[in-house]
Structures are given as C-alpha cells and as structure tokens.
Amino acid sequence: MEFQLKADLKCSGSVSEAVSSSEIAEFVKHCNAELLKKGAPPGCGAEIERWNVAGEKIGLKIVSDRFVRAHDALLRLKNEFGKFLGPHRIGIRGMEIEDYEIAMEWEEGLKIKKLPFVREIKQEEGMLKLFLDVDEFSLEKRIPDRIIRLLEDKKEAARWKGKKEHWELLFESNKKLFYFDKDPTEEMMKRGWIKHAAGRGQWIYGPQLTKIFRTFERILLDEVCKPLGYEEMVFPKFVTWDVWKRSGHAKGIYPEAYYVCTPKTRDPEFWEEVMDYYKVTNEVPLDMIMERIEPVGGMCYAQCPPFWVFLQGKTLPDEILPIKIFDRSGTSHRYESGGLHGIERLDEFHRVEIVWIGTKEQVIEHSKLLQEKYRRIFDEILDIEWREAWVTPWFMAQEGKAGLAELKEVGTIDYEAVLPYSGKWLEFQNVSVNGDKYPKGFSVKLQSGEELWSGCSGVGLERWAAVLLAQKGFDQDKWPAKFRSAVGKLPEIFRFL
C-alpha cells in the first residue's frame, strides 16, 4: 500500500523571511530520519520527498507506506513545524490538501465505482488507485483510514457473496401428521380472517387470527417467561440514528429500513404551499414534502437495540444478574423487497422479543434453558414438525467472530418448520447469543469488571401462525388438544353481503 500527499501548511507569518532555507532543509532531514519513522519497522515509514516555502505557506509532498500513513505524517509535521517556528513567533493556522493518492493491490474482478470522499477511482493491472477529496478536518477524523477499512470490508463481503450461509442441523423432531395441503394465507383470506391493509406488506388481522396470536403469547408467558423469571418492558418502536450506530445496524440497514422523518418546522406558513397544492389538486405533493422534512431514524427493525439506551453508560452490580426481560408492545418493520409472501414474509409484523443479560457463562446457560422450553412448546403444545439449525451469519465472520461461532458460543439457532403445501422449510423462531456486542456498543459494564454478554430471541406471531395452520389446517377438531383447549372458540363477528 502506497500513499502520496501534497499539502500546504498555512502559517501566521512569512516563513521565508524568518527562517533560512538551510535551516528548513536541516529540520526536514531530521523529521525524515526520526519523526516520520517512529512506530515503523526499519527501512519503513513516511518521508518528505519535496518541500518549498513561499511567503506564509510551506508546501510538502509526503510519500509513505502503510506503517506511517501520509496523513498521519502530515499531522505529526503540523505539530513539529509549530514547535520549530514558535521561537520566531510564527504559528500554524491550518492545512490545505492539494492532492492525496492511495494505491493498493486489488482483485481485478472486484469493481469499485464510488466511495465517499474519493473524487476519482482507477483500477488497472491488479491495482486500485484512489484520489481523495479531503480537508484538514477529514484527516483529523481519520477518513482515509476508514476508507481503507471500508475497502477491506468490501473484499470480505465479496468473499462471502454467493456462498451459502453456514447451516448445521442440531435437532429434528419426529414426523407429524399434516391435515392441510394449501397456502394458509389464501385460506384465511377466503374465510375473511385477514385482509390486505393499505400499506405494502401489511395485513389487517380479524378476531380469529388475533385470538390465535394472543393464545401464542399466553403460551409463551406460561411456558417460558414466567417459569424463567422474565419481566415485561415496553421498548420504543421508533429508533434514532444514534441507536443504530451503537448497535451496528447503521453499517447496512439502509435498503431494508422504514424511515421516519420530522418536519423541519411546525410553522404553518412553511407548509402553506403544500396544503394549498393538495386543496387545489386533491393530490399529496410528495416532492414538496420531501423538501420540508428531515430523516431522524426509522421504525423498529430489530426489536432489542432501542432497549439498550435504558442501560447506556451504566455500571451494573453483579448480584442482579442475570437480567431477563421481554417486550410485546408493537410492530417491527422491514422493507422486504421482492420477497413478500402471505403472512410469513411481511414489511410489518408482530413479535415478542426476549432479552437476557449476564456473564458469558450465564448467557450461554440461559440460552440452553430457552431451547428446552421451546422444544416443549413445539412438540407437546403445537405438535408441529420442526428442526433446529446452528447458523453463523456472515457479519460475524466479518467482525472476526467466526472462531466463537465454531465453539457454539456466539451465534444463532434457527427454528424451522416444513410447510406441507410447498415442501419448503420456514424459519419461524430463533435464539441468538450476541456476546458482548450490545454491552460494548452501549457502554454497559459490570461492577466486577467481568465481561458482560447478552442474548435475544424473537418470537414471530405471524410465522408461528403460518406454520401451525399450514400443518394442522382450519378444522379445530384436528388441532393439538392442548392448543385447542388454550385457544377456545374462535369468534365470528363480521359477515358481508
């Protein structure tokens, strides 16, 4: 990796009048020999290749390798020149970056079209050249380093692209009797149990399916939450950018997020043109609205991140662990582009989010307890055909956690059930051990200094219903006895002429 940087140090007085060329040459020689080699192996580091002085400006051309990158060298030189010129009552007012080029080896098949803070990209003969558009503030924020890390991420993502997600069978239930062979969503539509809502990937659930949802929740409370000591909380369903930055979702949520915007002002005069347009045309002027709003975050995507603000920056006493909480207060939203199907793949869906927090050992052990409880529900109450699989999401490998996944410590167990009408398996439930991801992201610590871990489990009500009805059908007499008893008689309220 090679760096070339041309920049001017802007001074508060005339350097050429205060210091001789020979003094500057000696100073540059000293910097090349010591300052710009600090922290690098022998023979490596940065170097001032050319310099010139013109009035209040010192022009520098710096070349370097990856050990002391050119922008780091420039920042060092800014401070060192300040000390050098200080006795002459001359200070450094700032820097102007004239040109910054980074060159590195690159895979020819991996094309890079556009990058932030890069005005031009060249790819040729196994090399990638970036011509940066940066200023002093960008260097202080270490934008060049972040660009390089971004390129490494793109390399890693390209390595994973096209590969199947790791999937390892852990457990498979006995074969079960199926009493239905059609798509349950279509059958519910015929029966008037559900209807497409006005929004994309959104349904209105009638009294029958709503009662089934509430029965699932009661089963979950009676079989999992109460026996294991969970307490209920209410998590926000609007999530700010800061939360997604801390949770890691801000790295890649954008194609799937439902965005939330607020008015730039509530001043009626600011909005008068929009209101007048609608009154005249009876059409909502979306372009005009977009000019008057600003994005402040999005709707709930993964249910637990906004909870962590409750603990953000806190230190917990060890004796209160493990902490066990759950939330069932609202919907989650994901823009499922091109993949919508029935009630099992939606943009708006309902789920119960279970979260537990403790030491590494406590979190892993509690995950096992949860798995036992779910097995009882699926086998003895719902009587469905299902299986467990260990899944290593690609982002864990990117974060260097593949080794932990192989040890069955950090990662996800997916619960899948077969849909008789298609023969496909549907993931309808999960249990995830997230390691220290969220405690670190939200700066939550333990009094003892021991590492704090967490886990979460999302119970999707629509998917539970899709699985149960796909396998057991709509004849309640054929439903498993324990579930039939729990749900009782389904209400019939609406009739249509």
Rounded Cα distance, 72 and 69, in Å: 5
> How many Cα neighbours within 13 Å face the side chain of 84?
22
Q: Give catalytic residue positions.
A: 304, 334, 336, 345, 353, 414, 427, 430, 456, 463
Query: SS3 letters for 447-482?
Result: CCCCCEEEEEEEEEHHHHHHHHHHHHCCCHHHCCHH
Comparing CA positions, the residue from 413, 426, 495 lying closest to residue 456 is 413
Q: What is the DSSP-derived secondary structure letter of residue 396?
A: H
Q: What is the DSSP-derived secondary structure letter of residue 423?
A: T
Give the other-Cβ count within 10 Å of 169's Cβ: 10
Residue 469 identity: L
Q: Are 352 and 327 in contact (CB under 8 A)?
A: yes
33 burial (CB, 10 Å; 0-12 / 13-18 / 19+) is exposed
Comparing CA positions, the residue from 448, 460, 447 lying closest to residue 414 is 460
Tokens 């979950």 belong to residue? 220
Q: CA 29, 33, 35, 36 torsion: positive or negative?
A: positive
